[in-house]
Structure 1
């Protein structure tokens, strides 16, 4: 692909991202503009109203308090008095959170095994299908494991994705032991010298203890049967659930060693501010974001691009 085509593609991605974040941008900036428009000077009342507006925009309580505290300090330091200056400062703060220690590129050496976890309904199986197709397009050999044996639909759905991308799916019947499916898949991956094995898993959060046991058992199987493989655990969250996604992530953090987060359905929601809260409170890198239905709409998360799309240049 020549440079021009690459630039076109990048612009296309950015335009999609910007369009996808439209509702979120209006939600955050609309609230902020409304607050700033009501004040002629910067005072404590302004900060309190701003705090409320950010919390309402799903930035998260903890994160909001940190942001507003930093704004107070900066206003003092720069002797700022004009409320309109706050907007740029806020953009700086959020950009800083998003690009905090700009995350290292996703590194998936061959061979790798990726466990994908998340509650039902967040778009987990679809996301796995898109990821698999993406990695395959990059030239990797990919294998899928249908270890969400709790729902027959999940197994069927994964098979449809597998057929679409011509990727083999290792499965057993409904309600079979997920660890047994992973065992079969790991052996298939090893015998085929496969670069990447992606495992779908059941996400039953109300049953935390069982989930913990199940994930531990799966991890043990991978460790024992494929000791040289690099391991990743990606958590899929639905951005439309806002604060609930943050709570889910905290619970999953207790049961699994999460190495990356994938946020789906960002395009349909005004709650995209949750990305800021997740990045700030969990200290887990956001790896991918979904800004639409098609395979191309699962994008690699780029903190600077995200901030730029959010605040516009």
Structure 2
């Protein structure tokens, strides 16, 4: 009995071992491949794999490289070139200074001839009584001619009109033109001195208060000089405003003028000294020195302006000291002129924005106040709108056509 049980146990163990081997062998067999599916004719072709180039080529023409689109479609990508270096500004050729005021006469006439027409209308009255002469005086004073010049003009007009008797419009216009020319002055030397006989360069210093257009005037004057065939060095002695030095350098670059500048808030006298030194070494014709816009009420700043003048004169005497005045400020400009003339010897006046005011009499008033001539006038914001002052063209613009 025990023998039978033992045999059964052995049989069970053997069968279990065989079953385990069978299951293990089945697990190790690879799965059969999936059944083939029908090709999808609408699907895009599969990406090529390694070795695909060895396959039999398809029955279609091979495309050239120009016909093959780059990934993403569209035109071929362009390779960006490195940015080109900034080009130096082209040198401009300014308009010659001769005849500028004639060209700008119409612009001057539009703003100024109210004075001339007003005077001609009053003088054309049949009876010139005291009230009319008072109106003539008021018209002149309103135009900033000044008290003394106005009184002198009215006295002469009274005498000549009395002698003249009958007055045609042509006679009145000729009479008024003569008297205004006497006031403006035809015998003053209005040439900007830039060519000393015994040396080079000529040295010009430009002074004035803030807001008169001083730095712009310096740049425009450089254009006038270059147009007349002279070489120029600019001295940016307004060190209190970095923008002023930048602005002046831009003006210079346009006409090929070299600009000497110093550190911001540096010593203006040092910059002015260096500008004259550079000008002498380079052999240029003219050095223009732009000073800071001094407030005439600041004693310390005005003293510094005197220092700039003294330092420059260690090289050579100044040939010109031009005072820039804003014509629209009227009588306040006379106060500025008076103070500046006490600090430096003003040799000439530049009146800016003369096309923007009807008070052209400031030309007469400032000359009468300082005893120095108006040499240049500004008649617009254009780079060539600075013109040499011509008394006859100015008076003709006052009277109109």
Same fold (TM over 0.5): yes
User: Of 213, 216, 220, which aligns to 1:126?
Assistant: 216
Quickly say closer, same or farther: Cα 1:79–1:144, change in 2 above 3 A.
Answer: closer
3-state SS in 1 of match to 2:313:
helix
1:237 corresponds to 2:237: no
3-state SS in 1 of match to 2:265:
coil
Which whole-Å CA distance do the structure 2 matches of 1:237 and 1:9 have between them? 21
Which whole-Å CA distance do the structure 2 matches of 1:10 and 1:193 have between them? 25
Pairwise CA distance, 1:123: 0.9
Pairwise CA distance, 1:309: 2.1
User: Of 137, 150, 160, which aligns to 1:51?
Assistant: 137
Pairwise CA distance, 1:16: 1.8
Pairwise CA distance, 1:19: 2.3
Count of residue pairs the alignment pairs up: 301
- Residues 80-91 of structure 1 aligned to structure 2 (within 5 Å): 80=165, 88-91=174-177
- Richer in helix (by share): 1
3-state SS in 1 of match to 2:144:
coil
3-state SS in 2 of match to 1:262:
strand
Quickly say closer, same or farther: Cα 1:290–1:206, change in 2 above 3 A.
Answer: closer
Quickly say closer, same or farther: Cα 1:206–1:286, change in 2 above 3 A.
Answer: closer
Which whole-Å CA distance do the structure 1 matches of 2:226 and 2:387 have between them? 15
- Contact 2:201–2:284 at 8 Å: present in 1 too? yes
- The corresponding residue for 2:371 is 283
1:144 corresponds to 2:234: yes
User: Of 60, 69, 93, which aligns to 2:146?
Assistant: 60
User: Of 339, 345, 350, which aligns to 1:262?
Assistant: 350
- The corresponding residue for 1:31 is 118
TM-score relative to the length of structure 2: 0.69
Pairwise CA distance, 1:86: 5.3
Unaligned runs of 5+ in 2: 1-95
- Contact 2:233–2:288 at 8 Å: present in 1 too? yes
- The corresponding residue for 1:205 is 295
Quickly say closer, same or farther: Cα 1:220–1:11, change in 2 above 3 A.
Answer: closer
Which whole-Å CA distance do the structure 2 matches of 1:211 and 1:231 have between them? 22
Per-residue CA deviations over 1:70-104 (Å, capped at 9, x if unaligned) read 2233334x163759665543322111122342425
- Contact 2:205–2:318 at 8 Å: present in 1 too? no
- The corresponding residue for 2:243 is 153
- Contact 1:149–1:155 at 8 Å: present in 2 too? yes
Which whole-Å CA distance do the structure 1 matches of 2:118 and 2:127 have between them? 18
Deviates more, 1:87-96 or 1:48-57: 87-96
- The corresponding residue for 1:96 is 182
Which whole-Å CA distance do the structure 1 matches of 2:140 and 2:172 have between them? 13
- The corresponding residue for 2:262 is 172
Pairwise CA distance, 1:151: 1.8
- The corresponding residue for 1:4 is none
Deviates more, 1:149-158 or 1:14-23: 14-23
User: Of 171, 191, 199, which aligns to 1:105?
Assistant: 191
Which whole-Å CA distance do the structure 1 matches of 2:280 and 2:140 have between them? 49
3-state SS in 2 of match to 1:42:
coil
RMSD: 2.4
TM-score relative to the length of structure 1: 0.87
- The corresponding residue for 2:157 is 71
Pairwise CA distance, 1:242: 1.9
- The corresponding residue for 1:215 is 305
- Contact 2:203–2:287 at 8 Å: present in 1 too? yes
- Contact 2:192–2:320 at 8 Å: present in 1 too? no
- The corresponding residue for 1:3 is none
Q: Of the two, which has the highest radius of gyration? A: 2
Pairwise CA distance, 1:35: 3.6
